[in-house]
Structure 1
Amino acid sequence: MAATNPTTANPAEPKPISVLFVCLGNICRSPMAEAIFRHQITTAAAPPELAFSTIDSAGTGAYHTNSPPDPRTMSTLRNHGITTYTHAARKIKKQDFFAFDYILAMDSENLENLAYERRRAVRGDKKNGQDDAEAEAEGAGAKIAEVRLIGDFSSDGSVTAKPGEGEVVGDPYYGGKEGFEVIYARLVRLCQGFLKFLAREAEKGAGA
């Protein structure tokens, strides 16, 4: 569920960060990642130098539009003290690529689909008479989301040289409840790594 984090920035602070987590159907992995990340940024786990705006999740497909998260996702979250999260599944849309700073995929297929849709979003904004290369070059100066795997971010805050070289988060949908616990633990670790990465980037910006 998209919302604004209570963390707000004063004029001296960096621009608040927006993040979209994406899986296939938006009922298992990406809503779990969203809920975990929300929990982390509203607790002591969040670096004080960071501010956040919109945190949301979506799917590359429209298989479960408007459905709540899988019951196993919700029960896993509750087991770990995350009890107030709500969400209605949705498919990613063109505007997301211009609204979010980071769009984080769960696996390589998600990432491939997102990279394709990102290219389409940029090319769809081209002016009359522009070719694709011109539109993409112009778009490079505008805000457009960085698309990566959530697993591209390591627990020490480092990031892979290229998008998609990191760890994947497999789909637990066809397995049992235990698989959701495994995915939960993995996402906690990866979200913590992403937070450390953001903190490092903020420090670089402050020192520039």
Structure 2
Amino acid sequence: MKILFVCLGNICRSTMAEAVMKNICSTKNLTGWEVDSCGTSDYNIGKQPYHLTLRTLKEHGIKDFRHKARQIRSSDFTEFDHILVMDHNNLSDVKYEAPKDCPANIEMLTAYDPQKAPYIVDPYYEEDSVFEDVYQLISRCCVKFVETYSKNK
């Protein structure tokens, strides 16, 4: 199982989702699951996750998460089984870049939200407290994704 999370800049939402999913996989001992994240833009290539992303992860026991922002690349469409995006703009951008015969399943991460949130807001442009809301939403979605695709349900 190879999962790629995608947002705009790859410093807030997608990196948070990557860290949360890696933590779940570790906790549930899901071997063979690979998780990465990227952005649709080139704004933050090479940058570390946003400090409020790291703070929120740390507050939930996810420490020492390391990632350098990158932009989505053509090989991602064949390398990953699932490409999970954060909002409708990301979905549109990723589908535009995808080859016609793309084998990856491209969808919104919120397709797995039991509470049916329509998308994951970009907390970078919001108040600091929104990072906690985003964390909770991402966590719910990742747990449901694992329940859906894990043999260790």
* TM-score, with length taken from structure 1: 0.68
Larger Rg: 1
The secondary structure found in structure 1 opposite 2:5 is strand
Q: Is residue 62 of structure 1 aligned with residue 13 of structure 2?
A: no
Instruction: State the one-letter code of the partner of 2:134.
Output: I
Query: What runs of 5+ residues in structure 2 fail to find an aligned partner?
Result: none
1:178 aligned residue: 129
Structure 1 counterpart of 2:66, from 78, 86, 100 = 86
Query: Is the 1:153–1:166 Cα contact (8 Å) retained in structure 2?
Result: no
2:4 aligned residue: 20
2:105 aligned residue: 146
1:102 aligned residue: 82
Query: What runs of 5+ residues in structure 1 fail to find an aligned partner?
Result: 1-16, 123-135, 157-164, 204-208
TM-fit CA distance, 1:174: 1.4
Q: Is residue 169 of structure 1 aligned with residue 120 of structure 2?
A: yes
Distance 1:153 1:173, change over 3 A: same
The secondary structure found in structure 2 opposite 1:177 is coil
Q: Aligned-pair RMSD on alpha carbons?
A: 1.9
Query: Is the 2:87–2:119 Cα contact (8 Å) retained in structure 1?
Result: yes
* TM-score, with length taken from structure 2: 0.92
Identity of aligned residues (%): 37
Instruction: State the one-letter code of the partner of 2:136.
Output: A
Q: Is residue 73 of structure 1 aligned with residue 53 of structure 2?
A: yes
2:95 aligned residue: 115
The secondary structure found in structure 1 opposite 2:110 is coil
Higher relative contact order (CA 8 A, sep 6+): 2
Query: Is the 1:149–1:166 Cα contact (8 Å) retained in structure 2?
Result: no
Query: Is the 2:3–2:84 Cα contact (8 Å) retained in structure 1?
Result: yes
